[in-house]
Chain A
Amino acid sequence: MEGLIVWLIITLVKILVILGIVLGVGAYLTLVERKVAAHIQRRPGPMVVGWHGLLQPLADGIKLLTKEDLFPRYGNRFLYNLALVMALVPATLVFAVVPFGPEFKVFGVEVKPILTDVNVGLLLVFALGSMAVFAIALAGWASNSKYALIGSMRKAGIVVSYEVVITFAVMGPIILAGTLSTYEIVQKQIEQELWYIWLQPLAFVVYMFALLAETGRVPFDVQEAEAELVTGFTVEYGGMKFGLFPLVEWYIEVLSLSAIAVVLFLGGWSPINIPFLGFVDPLFFLGPLSPFVWFILKVSLLFLFVLWLHWTLPRYRIDQITETAWKVMLPLTFVNLVLTAVIAPVLWG
């Protein structure tokens, strides 16, 4: 009985911490993005609200929340609102299986910094990822707008194509680790003293491509291409409802998929890896905090990489994107899969 209560308390605390981190960080990433974009474009970015614009996300939030709630005539109100839920919930749920660090002890209780360490964690991630397409299709359909419809169809086409690619891309690390649990995959990498990126560079590149495509980042942001479709499927949403879609797509999803990339390819919370020899930790002085810092560092680096691409490149056309997915990416992942299947037994046979 006591064990159950302790478990319940721990889980509740974990949920609150993760939700707080995800939504709070998600909001502040808007500021990060604006600052990064501004400096890439040789301008200061938001400077007025707070020191160097630190309170800007707050101001934006208040502005969006106090806006009039518009609804398109002849739209479907139920689906219109359902789309929002469908977008937010699966994207946030992914964090349930993201391991933030190694096990540690608080008041004599063993705590794993992961909400649930299910043994099919990765399957859950990609199942939830596939749900995103419903949100977008519903948003486009319920808005009763041609622009929104075209935008959502484009996005659906991309997500369906890249869902296949991303699933095959992560097959390599799964074979190397021999498990689907995210926590176990990191543990394996630490045991084998090897980040899987060294054996799976191809899979990593393909994964990053798919990440950009799934989250609608440049060069794959065709679904909201503001020059041709205004903003695609969000065109009929207003106020915070409008703000929610970019928040989910551009920040929470990028964050969750980056975290999964770190788990799969970059050894999760482990410090810098020298293949097959061991780990070097320049942050040793942080003591038990060091793994968490490493994890956050790696995720931030991937996020900044995504931003860097976003504010530099032009965008592809929809037919070119899906063509790349089916004709280039997918065969590459197949090759990778076969190679891994051959190498893995040789290494640890």
Chain B
Amino acid sequence: MPWVKGEEFVDLKQRFEGLEIEEKPTLTTLQVPKAKLIDLLKTLKEEKGYKLFLDHSVVDFPDKRPRFQAFYTLYNVEEKKRVLVKTWTDGLLPSIEKLWFAGKWAERECYDMFGIQYEGHENLVRAFMWETYQHYPLRKDFPLEGYATEYLPSLNETLWGENLQGLMNYDRMHTQVPTLEDLEITERRRLQKKAQIVLNWGPLHPGTHGTMWFLFDLEGERVYQCDVILGQLHRGVEKLAENEMYNQFLVYTDRMDYLSALCSNQAWVVAVERLLGIEELVPEKAKYIRTMMAELQRINSHLLWLGAYALDLGALTIFLYAFKEREKLMDIIEGITGARLTISYTRVGGVRMDLPEGAVEVIRAFVKRFPKELKEWETILSRNRIWLRRNVGVGVISKEDVYFYGLTGPVARGSGVPYDLRKFEPYDAYGWVDFDVPVGESGDVYDRYLVRLEEMRQSLRIVEQCLHALEKMPKDAPFFAESPDPKKLKLPLDGIGLKVPEGEIYSSGENPRGELGFYIYSTGGVKPYRVKIRPGSMYNLCVYPKLMKDRVVADAVTILASLDPVVGEIDR
């Protein structure tokens, strides 16, 4: 387990009055009064080496006083240890933006979702909702269906009014939606014009890879300042998680990072398994299958990134080459799981079904021919003079920036931080297979490109080893966890009856876009009390305004594509 031992913090007990250290099998927490919070975090960052900021959010307890429990997840990259810092508040917290910039975005999200005020936050604006929205959706007293005070009627409603017949005549409850005026107010809150023109880049723009809304304040073609408006794809996944059973929530993880659904599935079920304490019970075969499928999905996701990235830089042909290979992967995944995009293949305790006949051979054929294709593309791009001039030295992220902005995944590795959860906290079969973690040197866009290409090769290595292990297993090996006592632990497919004990856990998986973490707070029962998702894409994106400063518009696509955000995961 990567959680720190409690005894390491005994010396802090004298310095911080009221510090409580709690060590559970799932995580280690430090609880501290609000007044001491900033000091403690600073000590952890500067003296104890917990430099990488992972996550921050709050849990709402409407019946308790103070009402909100805030938590901060930190990581010590050198010693490979995690710690969770907790504090209680009634709606006011000190801001940590001086310690970690990523905290600024996390705080904006908490302000948006819970109405927490932050002292010393420079720009406390809503993260996802628009500025004129009155409510705080993740509070427990916010109804699941939203408030039907104001809404845009559908075309049918406008035409037929109350005369809608049959299925159309449902009880029309709408969540409030922003009008054009609301959006203009939001836009003005986000960016004060200082240079020549403000260019609205998005929300519907081919360069943003999704519905993100960027504001560029341009001086000629030079970006003077830049801001991001999120929330175009906000669906309240965390709110939904509180109202779904553990296995039911699995399908929502598909729809977060829709390009790497299998990896998200895996991260979620591993988190639930750890919370249940049945990680050991999951059969070896299921673990190998999960690992192999996740790695295929990683290649799939990186292929889409490569295609879109080359397209952004004008190399149109690579896009089609990459998509051709991706199509084959999609076919393989479809043949095994039955779905192409939103897959939901894994289950708590195993996988939904065994590998079909011939799957191993098909994957073997793919593994054999894919490196040749990869080499061909590299011939076109990697040493291409134009490609180098567009990429080298653009969007440089230093190691300190990685910690300061909470970057993970290939973005962090491109800057030379070997942070890979598959190595640090091996889940499923990652502990049993052999692979390398590629890291970059200078941290520019070109390094991130090379890292991702190499990751595809390493993924192939993992897939090969998984295939080897799977072939050796007997055909009727179990692919689903079975309890030693058949009456005690039942893990039916639909998830009903999956009773999870009280407890909390922060568990994460290595997604193609960074660390996808789940903080699950369970009060027992079939539904989680609170699920905080740590989206890799969102924290990776928070470095974007900094990188864009004093760059030209043409670099906007280069840098954005190299951070590779997926809006479904950012907005959730």
Chain A: residues with CB nearer than 8 A to chain B? 37, 40-43, 146-147, 150, 154, 218-219, 221-222, 225-230, 311-320
- Is the CB of B146 closer than 8 A to any CB of chain A? no
Q: How many residues of B contact A (CB 8 A)?
A: 32
Select which of A43, A227, A317 is within 8 A of B312 by beta carbon. Answer: A227
Nearest CB of chain B from residue A208's CB, rounded to whole Å: 15
User: 6 closest Cβ contacts across the A-B interface?
Assistant: A315-B314, A227-B312, A314-B315, A41-B320, A314-B313, A227-B207
User: Quick check: is B317 within 8 A (CB to CB) of the other chain?
Assistant: yes
> Contacts A150-B221, A225-B554, A226-B206 given: A314-B381 contact, CB under 8 Å?
yes
Q: Which chain B residues lie closer than 8 Å to A319 at the CB level?
A: 552
B192-204 near A? 1/0 per residue, CB < 8 Å = 0000010110000
User: Which residues on the B side are within 8 Å of A314 (C-beta)?
Assistant: 310, 313-315, 381, 384, 386-387, 390
Please tell me if the beta carbons of B553 and A312 are within 8 angstroms of each other in the complex.
Answer: no
Asked if B173 is an interface residue, CB under 8 A from chain A, the answer is no
Contacts known (A227-B311, A228-B554); A316 close to B317, Cβ less than 8 A: no
Measured CB to CB, the residues of B under 8 A from A are 197, 199-200, 205-207, 218, 221, 310-317, 320-321, 324, 380-381, 384, 386-387, 389-390, 552-557
Q: Are B314 and A221 in contact (CB under 8 A)?
A: yes
Other A-B contacts than A314-B390, A317-B554, 7 sampled, CB-CB below 8 A, are: A37-B317, A42-B324, A150-B553, A219-B314, A227-B207, A229-B553, A315-B313
Which of A146, A154, A228 is B207 in contact with, Cβ under 8 Å? A228
Q: Is the CB of B205 within 8 A of A230?
A: yes
Inter-chain residue pair count (beta carbon < 8 A)? 81
Chain B: which residue is nearest A43 at the CB level?
B320
Cβ contacts under 8 Å, B320 to chain A? 41-43
Whether A316 pairs with B389 at a CB distance below 8 angstroms is: yes
Residue of B nearest to A320 (CB): B389
Q: How far is the CA of A150 from the CA of B556 in the complex (A)?
A: 14
A318 engages B205 (CB within 8 Å): no
Q: Which residues of B contact A40 (CB under 8 A)?
A: 317
Q: Shortest distance in angstroms between A73's beta carbon and chain B's nearest beta carbon? A: 15
Residues of A within 8 A of B555 (CB): 317
The reply to whether B386 and A318 form a contact with Cβ atoms under 8 Å apart is: no
B565: min CB distance to chain A, Å: 15
Out of B380, B386, B554, name the residue touching A219 (CB < 8 Å). B386
Q: What separation, in Å, do the CA atoms of A318 and B222 have in the docked complex?
A: 12
Cβ of B252 to closest chain A Cβ, rounded Å: 30
**Complex: A218 Cα to B389 Cα, angstroms:** 15
> Could you name 10 residue pairs across A and B whose Cβ atoms are closer than 8 Å?
A42-B320, A222-B554, A225-B554, A227-B313, A228-B556, A230-B206, A314-B310, A314-B386, A315-B313, A316-B389
Residues on B with C-beta less than 8 A from A226 are 206
Q: B321 contacts A41, CB within 8 Å?
A: yes
A41 in contact with B556 (CB, 8 Å): no
- In the complex, chain B residues whose CB is within 8 Å of the CB of A313: 314-315, 384, 386
Contact, CB under 8 Å: A146 / B324: no
Instruction: Give chain A nearest CB distance to B389 CB in angstroms.
Output: 6
Which chain B residues border A219 with CB–CB below 8 Å?
A: 314, 386
| Docked pose: A230 CA to B554 CA in angstroms | 12
Partner of B317, one of A41, A147, A228, A317: A41
Is the CB–CB distance between B557 and A317 below 8 Å?
no
Establish whether residues A312 and B314, one from each chain, have CB atoms under 8 Å apart when the complex forms.
no
Question: Chain B nearest CB: distance from A224 CB in Å?
Answer: 10
The answer, among A146, A221, A222, A318, for a CB contact under 8 Å with B199, is A146
Q: Residue among A43, A154, A222, A316 with the most chain B CB within 10 A?
A: A316
| B504 CB → nearest A CB, Å | 43
Q: A93 → chain B, closest Cβ, in Å?
A: 30
Q: Which residue of A lies closest to B315 (CB)?
A: A314
From A312, A316, A318, give the contact of B221 (CB < 8 A). A318
CA distance in complex: A73, B381 (Å): 42
Tell me the complex Cα distance, A229–B324, Å: 27
In the assembled complex, the CB of B285 is this many whole angstroms from the nearest CB of chain A, namely: 37
How many Å from the CB of B388 to the closest CB on chain A? 10
